[in-house]
Structure 1
Amino acid sequence: MGTAGGLSAVEIAVGALRAVEPEDLRVLRAIEELMARYEHVPVDAIVRASGLHPREVSYRLDRLHEMGLIRRWIGPYTGYVLRMAGHDLLALHALVRSDVLEAFGKPLGVGKEADVYDALTPDGRRVAVKFHRLGRTSFRQTKRVRSYTREGVWADWYIRSRAAAKKEFTALKLAFSSGVSVPEPLARNRHVIVMSMIEGSELADVELLDPEPVLADVLLNVRKAYTRAGIIHADLSEFNIIIRPDGGILIIDWPQFVYKDHPNALDLLRRDVLNVLGFFRRKFAIAIEGDVALDFVTGLRSDVPGLHFGGSSTT
């Protein structure tokens, strides 16, 4: 989906960044806006929304279609939608124009719900760029059944992905400002988040020689998120805890977070804690009582027997 010639959507978008002209962007933005109203955006609607001459719009539509940024549908009328690469390009163009990003590198990870790439800021800082892709699987399944977009599927993907990026960016800002070990949130546009570089390996893939301090670090950060930032990850596992090269941790992937006053907050917090404890029990034979750990992360107690929290503040 959203690829051409074997390139990923991001690769298409990055390549097109150097080639798109102001008129191309006006047409792309017009289609983006009108996709909320049309399953397939008619050409006359694009003409009105872009403010360009019909011949200019026709030229730009052919050009953008060739570049792999839009999809053409031919039925009772000819209509267009943005491909994933078109959405990516609009977000990346805005981030480049606002001096957040300058150069793009290799993929750091490609998952079911997000793609993460490395990039450089204008001052040479390496950063991670996360493209939310919620609903990507359902869209691929739809494409196998029909040759054009089923009503609502594409719009649903984009709306959900944009909402997930906005929600995760909020969580990262709250967590980072409260001293939680998360990537530093730098910028967001549409469904794309720019954050400090994510370096290391998933906890699931790491052989720890001394696992107790890592478990203590995870629980301490869950506590900080809850007691200081007032949030709960709500999807915590060994797959979104990163072990950095220096041995510290990063907790990533926050789009499902909830506030501590959520009706199911304690159930979700308990699930997070039990997921982590279960992993450390299975892999490292460390047995910590769930209720004891839950009391610690909620601030009801200041220690967990068997774990040492060093000089770190537990308030």
Structure 2
Amino acid sequence: MKLDTSHMRYLTNEDFQVLSAVERGSINHEVVPTSLIHQLSGLRSLSGTNRSIGDLAKLKLVSKLRNAKYDGYRLTYNGIDYMALKTMLNRDSLYSVGNTIGVGKESDIYKVSDKNGVEKVMKIHRLGRTSFHTVRNNRDYLRKNSKNGANWMFLSKLAAAKEYQFMSLLHSRGFRVPEPFDHSRHIIIMELIKGFPMTRLRKHQNVPKLYSDLMKFILELGNSGLIHCDFNEFNIMIKDKLDGSDPNDTGFIVIDFPQCISIQHQDASFYFQRDVDCIRRFFKKKMKYEPKTDSTLLDTDGFGDGYKYPYPDFERDVKRQDNLDELLQASGYTKKHPGDRDLEDAVQGMRDAEYHSSDEEEDAEIPEGYDSDADEYYDSEEYDNEDSEEESDEGAEEEENERIIEALSTGVGNLKMDSLGNYILEDD
């Protein structure tokens, strides 16, 4: 879907009020009644609302549904585009929109700039294209928020919000991802990477190091609690020119994060291995590089030639060092920390061991006064006396409380308050 902003400058504040009213009404209505649009817009006259609706319909920002049972309108992708752009214009994070620099299976990428002339990237999520209808089933944060009839526009908002959260947190933790600047509805503004997708890469100044760094990125992400799930040559950018400040910089930036899952996901091992295999396959086919295994080496700080392992393994290498999956509520994350599960497993193991105790222990004579739960001896007579004393104290306390409640309701004069604010009854 092509973004057309040519009419945006001609829209009035009243037009945006009506457009916002249609958006708000879409939360509970597939087709928003005209009367509700007028009510939500806050405009005084119904004629003014109808005039704005007509103008918006001509620009295809709202549309009618054929054979609808009542008079109403619904928001189009063009309409939500205008709403998101208007919001970011008001925040000064966007000033002008340039040309298209990429079209993906679920998004459109544009070059934009802010009021200071700084070039940025605008990603518009377009879920629901014919070639990508399985996205709602593949991502649980979309599936659980999509009831029957939930539209792709709403799901695009969820995907954009999720990706913005991932990028913001990952960038703050030092991961090689674009810096996000702003987000509104289904649009994200982020840093412009002057480079090209790794799928076009055919030579590099240090191929073994690039391979090792990419494998380390997968592992570092896993140690932080996340798995990318789409880590391939199409979602890795290679910078055109390196600034030279860091000789070890291999110039890669990882993009596209809305599909990330937790390492607690039931299929975490599968998706981790798939990310690893995608990189191995690309380097073998396009870069003619395939590291060899050498078990005599001891260096485990990287992967490939010169290191002990040719690639990371989920079971062997992933060691949780951060809880990004918890902070982001990534797909597959459960509230119980892995440490809690380890404790539960240990307790269950002790229970099983106790259940499968030897026959001699089961047949052993139990001394009188032994409590199997407390694992200690006690004097049964003394224990019964203690219980009776506690019960008598509780009974006296309940009787005192009843007397205080009666005094409060009848207003007797012998009710006083101590220094701690507690009511007491003085003897007559």
Q: Is the 8 A contact 1:101 1:121 kept in 2?
A: yes
Q: CA deviation at 1:123?
A: 2.1
Q: Is the 8 A contact 1:235 1:272 kept in 2?
A: yes
In 2 relative to 1, CA 59–97 (structure 1 residues): closer, same or farther, beyond 3 Å? same
Cα distance in structure 2, aligned partners of 1:307 and 1:195: 36
- Give the letter for the 2:73 counterpart: Y
1:137 aligned partner, one-letter code: T
Of 68-77 and 124-133, the range deviating more from structure 2? 68-77
Superposition pairs of residues 294-309 of structure 1, within 5 angstroms: 301-306=300-305
Q: What displacement does 1:222 show?
A: 2.2
Aligned CA-pair RMSD:
2.5
3-state DSSP class of the match of 2:286?
A: helix
- Paired residue type of 1:215: Y
Q: Could you tell me which amino acid in structure 2 is paired with residue 56 of structure 1?
A: G
How many positions carry a matched residue from both structures? 280
Shifted more, 84-93 versus 244-253: the winner is: 244-253
Contact 2:216 2:303 in 1 (8 A): no
Once the two structures are TM-superposed, the CA of residue 262 in structure 1 deviates from its matched residue by 3.0
Query: Which residue of 192, 200, 207 corresponds with 1:205?
Result: 200
**Of residues 179, 184, 192 in structure 1, which corresponds to 2:179?**
184
SS at match of 2:256: coil
- Note closer, same or farther for the CA distance 1:264–1:74 as it changes in structure 2 (3 Å cut): closer
Shift, 1:31, TM fit: 0.8
CA distance in 1, matches of 2:36, 2:253: 46
Q: Give 1:113's aligned residue.
A: 106
How far 1:170 moved relative to its partner? 1.3
Task: Describe the superposition over 1:112-156 as per-residue Cα deviations: whole angstroms up to 9, x where unpaired.
Answer: 20001111112221110100011132799xxxxxxxxxx966x42
The CA deviation string for residues 207-231 of structure 1, in whole angstroms up to 9 with x for no partner, is 114432322232232233233x432
In structure 2, the residue matched to 1:43 is: 34
Q: Aligned pair 1:219/2:215, yes or no?
A: yes
Unaligned runs of 5+ in 1: 2-7, 141-150, 293-299, 309-314
Contact 1:179/1:224 (<8 A) preserved: no
Pairing 1:1-315 to 2, within 5 Å after superposition: 8=2, 10-11=3-4, 14-52=5-43, 53-75=45-67, 76-137=69-130, 155-210=150-205, 211-227=207-223, 229-246=224-241, 248-288=251-291, 301-306=300-305
Query: What amino acid is aligned across from residue 33 of structure 1 in structure 2?
Result: R
Larger radius of gyration: 2
What residue in structure 1 maps to residue 363 of structure 2? none
**C-alpha distance 304-111 of structure 1, shift in aligned 2 (>3 A):** closer
Report the CA distance between 1:20 and its aligned residue.
1.6
Query: Which residue of structure 2 aligns with residue 312 of structure 1?
Result: none
Structure 2 spans left out of the alignment, 5+ residues? 134-146, 242-249, 308-320, 322-428
* Distance (Å, rounded) in 1 between the aligned partners of 2:196 and 2:110: 15
User: Does the C-alpha gap of structure 1 residues 17 and 187 become closer, same or farther in structure 2, counting only changes over 3 Å?
Assistant: same
TM-fit CA distance, 1:274 = 1.1
Residue 295 of structure 1 corresponds to none
Does the 8 A contact of 1:39 with 1:152 survive in 2?
Answer: no
Q: Secondary structure at the match of 1:187?
A: strand
Sort the Cα spacing of 1:273 and 1:58 in 2 relative to 1 into closer, same or farther, 3 A.
Answer: same
State the SS of the aligned residue for 1:105: strand
Structure 1 pair 203–99 and aligned structure 2 pair: CA distance change class (3 A): same
Percent identical among aligned pairs is 31
Quick one: distance in 1 between partners of 2:42 and 2:131?
35
Contact 1:178 1:225 in 2 (8 A): no
- After superposition, the Cα gap between the structure-2 partners of 1:65 and 1:219, relative to the gap in structure 1 and judged at 3 Å, is same
Matches of 1:168 and 1:126, distance apart in 2: 20
3-state SS, counterpart of residue 284 of structure 1: coil
Alpha-carbon distance in 1 for matches of 2:219, 2:114: 32
Greater relative contact order structure (CA < 8 Å, 6+ sep): 1
